[in-house]
Structure 1
């Protein structure tokens, strides 16, 4: 990021801007810890979205083209190093889908809810939306919240893993699909297409945005929410930490896998090249751990630490580090525990930047 942020939308915050345009956090004082202590801490018809299709409670019975119904092969999961992964397009997405990960995803949803101060989206929608798409829906919690907020809207959640609930609101539907395959949704259809933390499965972002543009109705919006693949620290506590060692490995493995999230400016570029207009970047500072003095940011950091403590470090690292860095599963677990101790112990004061990039499809003349 640069010091020139006139193109960014500033989010109201109790924090003070520093000289490069982000925000400074003041840490609570914490007693130093020894290495041994760190280790110890360690309403519309759902089928209208398609040219053909049907729906049951939660999942579609018959889907066209690349959209897959729930067959035995889809739910025949892959098990690796003690974690469970998706079978459909096996190996493409590096994150597990087991119960531990599902719990983490739900906590992470609350973490994002706190960061956005109670908002589910930042796009300036015009009126109540009728058709909403959630890309990489995970447990489906965002889609379900949107379905409850807009009971007259149809909400579709898409994911590689069928881990969503089967009994849902009548206006919410889930599909098992690979978002990098050709989309089968109708053209000019969705009022909002939402995509959050999907960098671990998208390799061709320009194509992804072009498909979004095609399926967004004129006047509709896209919202892309991604985090940096690096952490920031303003007081030097990050340098030389186990957390820094973990993140350096994550950067190296993610680079080899081609799965690092583009930053906000690159996402904006992709959105504009796809045809979206009025593209804005909303950025949020998210502390890792309960070290900030500010009460609001402390709560956000506590929730982040809770999500990490629910297997977050291991979820991001196990497949990436073992497949691309040739680390053993035991070494990955050991590093994850040390990094987690840095966050939980409030001795390392780091934060990440979360981007929400919004853009509108031009309205018809």
Structure 2
């Protein structure tokens, strides 16, 4: 299994307010990729098969690039993503991001947009911008602001995504999923389990769950849950500068005394509870040899996770990392 530790020595402390203060100044983002064909000719050229779905174990999944992303795309998943979007917005005090992109960006893209909540919010917040949401799954709403466009595609297989003059590329929980991080622009959020007061037991169910999930997803899909630890270094190697990171600790369990922290704990409990249900459809259904657990063993572990999400004694948390960086403009030759 992945080498996750439950003490705070491997986790950055939560950032204080001063860590998020910066001057907008003159901030411009460019690209060193040259566009080789017209993006607009690609949009809308998809075949009907892209919009089909696959149904397994009572859940619905995308059929385009089947197996590339294993999570469902049905109404239950929409509920989970909506709550997750609410949690991230709450963490940021109502902001959609921390990157200092100014008040009038012209073109933005959200990679792995899912149901498109962030794109719609960004389009409302920045009416000056064309906001594109990209995903493998055709699940986005039809009624959207006029400056929104959704595209069904794989970010790692089409160079047009990189060469279209985006002022801001937004990612959410995508670093572990991407096969080749060096091929895309990145803005990432990363969860890990931690505890600062010594109340985390050695057999803490949420910690064991994440270890098992990391191991299974690595073997089945090649996902690397530790990829985010390399993110600042990789961004630097890609030519990014002004690389910054802010860390927030989201409570796991109902132990906080502060109202806003308890609100985050409730939101996270809903998100993880819905995730468990989705995973019990596949691959944690007791029939996948890659998981290595019987259905009773899986049920016992997941019941332990659900109990931990309501625990008031263990002061666990998920450190969520927001990373942003600036790509230098090309110097004319």
TM-score of the alignment, normalized to the shorter chain, above 0.5:
yes
Bigger mean CA offset, 313-322 vs 147-156 = 313-322
1:61 to 44, 48, 52: 44
Deviation per residue, 1:284-331 (Å, 9 max, x gap): 11112332122222221111112223x122335653443621445675
- Verify the 8 A CA contact 2:214 2:225 in the aligned structure 1: no
State how many pairs are aligned: 303
| Separation in 2, partners of 1:185, 1:244 | 36
- Verify the 8 A CA contact 1:9 1:280 in the aligned structure 2: no
| Separation in 2, partners of 1:129, 1:246 | 40
1:130 aligns with 2:106: yes
Bigger mean CA offset, 187-196 vs 264-273 = 264-273
- Kindly report which structure 2 residues correspond to 1:199-348, keeping only aligned pairs within 5 A, or say none: 199=175, 201-208=177-184, 212=185, 224-228=187-191, 230-234=192-196, 235-257=198-220, 258-262=222-226, 264-309=228-273, 311-316=274-279, 318-321=281-284, 322=288, 324-327=290-293, 332-333=298-299, 335-348=301-314
Deviation per residue, 1:72-113 (Å, 9 max, x gap): 322322223332221111111121111101110000000011
Gaps of 5+ in 2: 1-7, 19-34
1:166 to 124, 136, 142: 142
- Verify the 8 A CA contact 1:107 1:303 in the aligned structure 2: yes
- Kindly report which structure 2 residues correspond to 1:87-98, keeping only aligned pairs within 5 A, or say none: 87-98=63-74
1:111 aligns with 2:87: yes
Provide the aligned C-alpha RMSD in A: 2.9
1:140 aligns with 2:145: no
| Separation in 2, partners of 1:87, 1:146 | 28
- Verify the 8 A CA contact 2:251 2:315 in the aligned structure 1: yes
Deviation per residue, 1:202-242 (Å, 9 max, x gap): 1221223xxx3xxxxxxxxxx522223x4112333442233
Gaps of 5+ in 1: 14-47, 63-68, 213-222
- Give the deviation of 1:342 after TM superposition: 1.6
- Kindly report which structure 2 residues correspond to 1:31-46, keeping only aligned pairs within 5 A, or say none: none
State the TM-score, normalizing by the size of structure 2. 0.81
